[in-house]
Protein backbone atom coordinates (compact mmCIF):
# COMPACT_ATOMS: atom_id res chain seq x y z
CA UNK A 1 0.00 0.00 0.00
CA UNK A 2 3.04 2.31 0.00
CA UNK A 3 2.11 3.60 -3.46
CA UNK A 4 -1.11 5.01 -1.97
CA UNK A 5 0.75 6.92 0.75
CA UNK A 6 0.18 4.28 3.46
CA UNK A 7 2.75 2.57 5.61
CA UNK A 8 2.11 -1.13 6.09
CA UNK A 9 1.05 -0.45 9.69
CA UNK A 10 -1.47 2.21 8.61
CA UNK A 11 -2.86 -0.04 5.89
CA UNK A 12 -3.29 -2.96 8.31
CA UNK A 13 -5.06 -0.68 10.79
CA UNK A 14 -7.44 0.59 8.09
CA UNK A 15 -8.17 -2.99 7.01
CA UNK A 16 -8.83 -4.09 10.61
CA UNK A 17 -11.34 -1.28 10.97
CA UNK A 18 -12.96 -2.23 7.65
CA UNK A 19 -12.25 1.22 6.18
CA UNK A 20 -10.71 0.09 2.89
CA UNK A 21 -12.71 -1.00 -0.14
CA UNK A 22 -11.51 -2.45 -3.43
CA UNK A 23 -13.92 -2.14 -6.35
CA UNK A 24 -16.75 -1.53 -3.87
CA UNK A 25 -16.01 -4.47 -1.56
CA UNK A 26 -14.55 -4.19 1.94
CA UNK A 27 -11.19 -5.94 2.20
CA UNK A 28 -10.37 -7.87 5.38
CA UNK A 29 -6.72 -8.82 4.82
CA UNK A 30 -3.51 -7.21 3.54
CA UNK A 31 -3.31 -7.83 -0.21
CA UNK A 32 -0.93 -6.99 -3.03
CA UNK A 33 -1.56 -3.67 -4.79
CA UNK A 34 -3.07 -3.98 -8.28
CA UNK A 35 -3.17 -1.16 -10.85
CA UNK A 36 -6.60 -2.23 -12.13
CA UNK A 37 -8.40 -1.64 -8.83
CA UNK A 38 -10.51 1.28 -7.62
CA UNK A 39 -9.39 1.77 -4.00
CA UNK A 40 -11.43 3.72 -1.41
CA UNK A 41 -10.80 4.81 2.17
CA UNK A 42 -14.02 5.65 4.05
CA UNK A 43 -15.82 5.88 0.68
CA UNK A 44 -13.26 8.42 -0.58
CA UNK A 45 -11.56 7.40 -3.81
CA UNK A 46 -7.79 7.05 -3.25
CA UNK A 47 -6.92 5.64 -6.68
CA UNK A 48 -9.05 5.11 -9.75
CA UNK A 49 -8.32 1.95 -11.68
CA UNK A 50 -5.70 2.01 -14.41
CA UNK A 51 -6.77 -0.45 -17.12
CA UNK A 52 -4.00 -2.56 -18.52
CA UNK A 53 -2.90 -1.75 -22.04
CA UNK A 54 -1.34 -4.29 -24.42
CA UNK A 55 0.39 -3.07 -27.57
CA UNK A 56 2.20 -4.90 -30.37
CA UNK A 57 4.59 -2.66 -32.27
CA UNK A 58 7.10 -2.97 -35.09
CA UNK A 59 10.45 -1.59 -33.93
CA UNK A 60 12.27 -0.21 -36.97
CA UNK A 61 15.89 -1.00 -37.65
CA UNK A 62 18.17 1.66 -36.16
CA UNK A 63 16.04 2.26 -33.04
CA UNK A 64 17.36 1.36 -29.57
CA UNK A 65 15.08 -0.75 -27.37
CA UNK A 66 14.89 1.73 -24.51
CA UNK A 67 12.53 4.45 -23.27
CA UNK A 68 15.48 6.49 -22.00
CA UNK A 69 15.16 9.80 -23.83
CA UNK A 70 18.81 10.62 -23.14
CA UNK A 71 19.77 7.85 -25.58
CA UNK A 72 19.68 8.80 -29.24
CA UNK A 73 17.09 6.99 -31.40
CA UNK A 74 15.17 5.57 -28.39
CA UNK A 75 11.67 4.06 -28.64
CA UNK A 76 9.94 7.31 -27.71
CA UNK A 77 11.18 8.93 -30.93
CA UNK A 78 8.91 6.52 -32.85
CA UNK A 79 6.13 5.51 -30.46
CA UNK A 80 4.21 8.19 -28.54
CA UNK A 81 2.03 6.94 -25.67
CA UNK A 82 0.35 8.86 -22.85
CA UNK A 83 1.42 6.34 -20.19
CA UNK A 84 4.57 4.47 -19.22
CA UNK A 85 4.74 1.05 -20.86
CA UNK A 86 7.30 -1.62 -20.18
CA UNK A 87 8.47 -3.84 -23.03
CA UNK A 88 9.09 -7.53 -23.52
CA UNK A 89 11.69 -8.93 -25.85
CA UNK A 90 14.62 -6.60 -26.41
CA UNK A 91 15.92 -6.23 -29.95
CA UNK A 92 19.38 -4.87 -30.69
CA UNK A 93 19.60 -1.64 -32.64
CA UNK A 94 20.18 -3.29 -36.04
CA UNK A 95 17.36 -5.81 -35.60
CA UNK A 96 13.70 -5.06 -36.25
CA UNK A 97 10.25 -6.45 -35.68
CA UNK A 98 7.87 -7.27 -32.88
CA UNK A 99 8.02 -5.69 -29.44
CA UNK A 100 5.22 -6.11 -26.90
CA UNK A 101 4.48 -3.13 -24.66
CA UNK A 102 2.27 -3.05 -21.57
CA UNK A 103 1.73 -1.48 -18.15
CA UNK A 104 0.92 -4.99 -16.88
CA UNK A 105 4.18 -5.77 -15.12
CA UNK A 106 3.40 -9.41 -14.39
CA UNK A 107 2.57 -10.04 -18.03
CA UNK A 108 5.78 -8.40 -19.25
CA UNK A 109 7.77 -10.42 -16.71
CA UNK A 110 6.13 -13.67 -17.83
CA UNK A 111 7.16 -13.00 -21.42
CA UNK A 112 10.70 -11.97 -20.52
CA UNK A 113 11.55 -14.63 -17.94
CA UNK A 114 13.77 -17.44 -19.30
CA UNK A 115 12.01 -19.81 -16.90
CA UNK A 116 8.73 -19.42 -18.80
CA UNK A 117 10.39 -20.41 -22.12
CA UNK A 118 8.06 -18.34 -24.29
CA UNK A 119 8.69 -18.88 -28.00
CA UNK A 120 10.16 -16.07 -30.09
CA UNK A 121 10.19 -16.49 -33.87
CA UNK A 122 12.56 -14.74 -36.28
CA UNK A 123 13.16 -14.48 -40.01
CA UNK A 124 16.87 -14.14 -40.72
CA UNK A 125 18.70 -13.25 -43.93
CA UNK A 126 22.42 -14.05 -44.09
CA UNK A 127 25.27 -13.05 -46.36
CA UNK A 128 25.87 -16.32 -48.20
CA UNK A 129 23.99 -19.45 -49.30
CA UNK A 130 22.63 -21.53 -46.44
CA UNK A 131 23.90 -25.11 -46.25
CA UNK A 132 22.12 -28.12 -44.77
CA UNK A 133 24.99 -28.38 -42.29
CA UNK A 134 24.33 -24.83 -41.10
CA UNK A 135 20.64 -25.58 -40.45
CA UNK A 136 21.48 -28.76 -38.53
CA UNK A 137 24.12 -27.06 -36.38
CA UNK A 138 21.88 -24.08 -35.62
CA UNK A 139 19.10 -26.44 -34.56
CA UNK A 140 21.35 -28.51 -32.31
CA UNK A 141 22.73 -25.50 -30.45
CA UNK A 142 25.87 -23.44 -31.02
CA UNK A 143 28.79 -22.55 -28.76
CA UNK A 144 28.75 -18.73 -28.67
CA UNK A 145 31.58 -18.43 -26.10
CA UNK A 146 29.36 -17.34 -23.21
CA UNK A 147 27.37 -20.61 -23.44
CA UNK A 148 26.06 -23.25 -25.79
CA UNK A 149 22.61 -22.29 -26.98
CA UNK A 150 19.64 -24.59 -26.47
CA UNK A 151 18.37 -26.83 -29.23
CA UNK A 152 15.79 -24.96 -31.29
CA UNK A 153 13.62 -25.13 -34.40
CA UNK A 154 15.30 -23.95 -37.62
CA UNK A 155 13.87 -24.05 -41.14
CA UNK A 156 15.50 -23.00 -44.42
CA UNK A 157 13.16 -20.71 -46.39
CA UNK A 158 15.33 -19.75 -49.37
CA UNK A 159 18.95 -19.65 -50.41
CA UNK A 160 19.76 -16.84 -47.99
CA UNK A 161 16.85 -16.85 -45.50
CA UNK A 162 15.84 -19.10 -42.61
CA UNK A 163 13.28 -19.18 -39.79
CA UNK A 164 14.37 -19.79 -36.21
CA UNK A 165 12.25 -20.23 -33.06
CA UNK A 166 13.96 -19.70 -29.72
CA UNK A 167 12.87 -20.22 -26.12
CA UNK A 168 15.81 -18.30 -24.71
CA UNK A 169 17.11 -14.81 -25.36
CA UNK A 170 20.84 -14.29 -24.93
CA UNK A 171 22.23 -10.92 -25.96
CA UNK A 172 22.57 -10.81 -29.79
CA UNK A 173 22.10 -14.59 -29.73
CA UNK A 174 21.19 -15.23 -33.37
CA UNK A 175 23.97 -12.98 -34.63
CA UNK A 176 26.46 -14.78 -32.41
CA UNK A 177 25.21 -18.20 -33.52
CA UNK A 178 25.56 -17.28 -37.17
CA UNK A 179 29.00 -15.75 -36.68
CA UNK A 180 30.23 -18.87 -34.90
CA UNK A 181 29.25 -20.88 -38.00
CA UNK A 182 30.90 -18.48 -40.45
CA UNK A 183 27.86 -16.41 -41.46
CA UNK A 184 26.91 -12.75 -41.05
CA UNK A 185 23.34 -11.56 -40.46
CA UNK A 186 22.17 -9.12 -43.14
CA UNK A 187 18.64 -8.71 -41.77
CA UNK A 188 16.85 -9.99 -38.67
CA UNK A 189 13.11 -9.60 -38.10
CA UNK A 190 11.17 -10.91 -35.10
CA UNK A 191 7.71 -11.91 -36.26
CA UNK A 192 6.23 -13.56 -33.14
CA UNK A 193 6.43 -13.56 -29.34
CA UNK A 194 4.41 -16.37 -27.76
CA UNK A 195 1.01 -16.22 -29.54
CA UNK A 196 1.27 -12.58 -30.69
CA UNK A 197 2.39 -12.01 -34.29
CA UNK A 198 3.53 -9.03 -36.32
CA UNK A 199 0.54 -9.66 -38.63
CA UNK A 200 1.02 -7.00 -41.28
CA UNK A 201 2.48 -4.24 -39.11
CA UNK A 202 5.04 -2.07 -40.87
CA UNK A 203 8.06 -0.38 -39.25
CA UNK A 204 6.85 2.28 -36.80
CA UNK A 205 3.27 0.96 -36.67
CA UNK A 206 1.48 -0.57 -33.69
CA UNK A 207 -1.86 -2.03 -32.63
CA UNK A 208 -3.56 -2.81 -29.34
CA UNK A 209 -4.53 -6.38 -28.48
CA UNK A 210 -6.36 -8.20 -25.71
CA UNK A 211 -5.25 -11.22 -23.71
CB 191 within 8 A of CB 204: no
Cβ-based neighbours of 56, under 8 Å, separated by 6 or more: 98, 99, 100, 101, 196, 197, 198, 199, 201, 206, 207, 208, 209
Does the annotation mark 73 as catalytic? no
Rounded to whole angstroms, the Cα distance separating 172 from 180 reads 12
How many CA within 13 A on the CB side of residue 53?
17
Q: Which of 38, 42, 73, 92 is catalytic?
A: 92
CB 43 within 8 A of CB 21: yes
Which of the residues are catalytic? 92
Amino acid sequence: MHRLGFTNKEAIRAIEHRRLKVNGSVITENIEFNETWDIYLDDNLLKPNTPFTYIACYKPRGIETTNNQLIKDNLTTVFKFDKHLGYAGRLDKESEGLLLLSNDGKYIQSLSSPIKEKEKEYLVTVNKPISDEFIIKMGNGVDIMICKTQACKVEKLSEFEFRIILKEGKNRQIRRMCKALGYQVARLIRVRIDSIRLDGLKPGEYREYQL
